[in-house]
A and B are shown apart, each in its own frame.
Chain A
Amino acid sequence: MKNTIKQLFHSSKFVIGFVIFVAILLTIIIYPLVSPGNPLEMVGVGTFARPGTYVSLYDAVTTEKDTFKFSDADEKRLANAISDSDREAMLALFDAAAMDYSSIDVNDSNALIEFWDANYQTAMDTAKLKKSQKRDLRLLDSRIQALKAGETFKVVEEVDGETVEISTITKTDYVNTNKVINVRNLPLGTDNFGRDTLRELIAAAGVSLRIGLIAGIIATFVGLLLGLLAGYLGGVVDNIITFFTNVLSVIPSIVLLILINYSISQELRGPTLCALIIGATSWTWTTRSVRSQVISLRNRDHVNLSKLSGHSLMRIILTDILPYIASYVVMAFILQVSSGILAEAQLSMLGLGPKTTTTPTLGLMMNWATLYSAHTTGRWWAYFPVILTITFITFSLNFMNTGMDQVFNPALRD
């Protein structure tokens, strides 16, 4: 046993899968401790806030200021103020007035504005443009002038109908984000309900893993029990169990899942019940493979000898058969967990997963993202990390399984 475990950790595939899985597991356990709070709290009022760091403007205004004179600060500000369409409109005016602006770099906002200031009036006089176009250009000019002229903001507060000046903000004022009381990091932004996507994702991964685990335990337990009985007892018991197993495995389990879940009202359909249903429909192939393994074992001499030593049926199954198929059963269990997680995702995508809005699952997050068209509007943070999480969980489980197969199956050893 000890030796087998040591061998497992010599298999690179198993180690890679194990490390990824443990990393995911630790994240699920540790993150809520570091950052406590309800994962489904709707923190954002709008939908789909972009990933990033959010600084409270209110707190920033009253935070102690430092003065910096970065040379490129104005440039950046202007560059940000003039959009690409503004730039095009400005150049169109010069073109219409037949002015030569080849001496300046049109991408340098400062140079462009300087050129604009010098030539705006002449260009407006000479260019033949429609009235509406001229009006737009006059608006653009007044915006640029305001941007240049504006040196300060005054922050005022209304107290009893009177405005009291609190502070003045100049272009050279900065605050250290560490000093601002409310700075929020949303590495994955918010979802359609304004929830913190990262926190929701980690909670969902935990719930999905639990669903997979429950489904896997049920499927493996039922499959193992029926497989052992059918394989060892044979005869009528075998015929009955094989009949039911065959009937159930002929029906695609997704169809069965859809029908069962559809017939249960949404209020009752929690993650645990969903896991039970998934487990109850996926034991068939474990039964079939355990049965065939047991049949090949039951006529072995050591089993006959155990029988002849007067051992009970229970003892023979537990000590003479189960240890021989244990490694196989562990592998089957891991695959069942991984397919349980995928089954939940499939069901939730169809809106037949666990009850909505109270527990997040990976499938539900995908479902919400789809319903609010995150995929068509480029809100990648609402669905892509979920896909990645599902992929990594199932990938790590399957990789562990392949590594185990290599260790337990002598034919695959290098």
Chain B
Amino acid sequence: MRVIGLKCRNCGKEYKTLPINICEECFGPLEVKYDYEEIKENISKEKIQKAEPTLWRYRDFLPVEDQNKIVDLKAGFTPLHKADNLAEVLGLKELYLKNDSVNTTFSFKDRVVSVAISKAIEFGFDTVACASTGNLANSVAAHAAKAKLNCYIFIPKNLSRGKIIPTLAYDPNLIAVDSNYDDVNRLCTEISSYYDWAFVNINLRPYYSEGSKTLGFEVVEQLGWEVPERYIAPVGSGSLLTKIHKGLKELEITGLIDEVNTKVTAAQSEGCSPVTTSFRTGEAIKPVKPNTIEQSLAIGNPADGFYAVKLIKETGGTAGTANDEEIIEGIKLLAKTEGIFTETAGGVVIGTLKNLVEAGEIDKDEKTVVYITGNGLKTQDVLVNRLTEPQVISPDLEEFNKLLKKEAVIW
């Protein structure tokens, strides 16, 4: 068995492979423990490259043992773009964009959900659930529909319609809670101890979070089996940021790449930045009440915040923020330079990258990868009245010429 069991990241106590996420001794987070020797014996670059271009080409590193239980909507192996136009604007030498906005339900959450729901089926659950800021809701609803599972999804009531409608299309039980995400999460944590459901980001969290490692694996493969010198990712709970790095380290442990020396960089919105604040002040994570247009990262009490700050420090990385104006400008800058339309979380990453470069905190010669984790079609509301409006004309050639202030060219 590749999966040995679960292990507490805090105190090291070990557990069997069960649908649990908390250490009963210290309340620390449980993490999947693998037999890396067995993985090493069975893995090769050739084997990976021959497999289907989805996240499941890295199944040797994922915690689902029964391949027949995999719920695969073909997520993953999304494009890595060399972003020369954006690099030029920012003054960077070598910049890449990992574009997860084109995933099955248009965010990186398809990776973690595909793993979690497959594991839920392996455990024998008939009902899946989640607490979501939007993207997770879309993905859980889609995968539950495909797997014919009962589905309960909890979201903050004020979520943008661009995230509610794509969830409702899959016909889950959608419960809108009249409060913010942290309250939704607290409520779901309580519900999960009363109902025997698979909450993908609560009792299945150790398995769910492993899906994010594939964002690390893919970038390395797409860079020709080389690690980036730096990556920058949006931070809500901190899980994504830390699991990408875990993915890089697993490639090193199993001998597929040389030593990992990648600097990890966190991007948060200024109105919800507990991880960046902790990194900057050196103090423990302090929960905040989010006040930002960026909803998908609006987690005031980040579950993996402690580990995110630790990782940033250990790798010599940094953390920054973008304010609401910079988030919108970040969305626009990415669209007009690279042709990629991202949601507000992508605006946070681009805005933060720009701020950190201008502050001299990022070396301009580094090979840097930016993670774009969600699609702009979901958060169009923030751009209302922020873009150039269409120029309206009647269907008349003269009027168009007048608009261009030119005479018609006669061929």
Q: Does A pair with B?
A: no
Binding site for A on B (CB under 8 A): none
Binding site for B on A (CB under 8 A): none
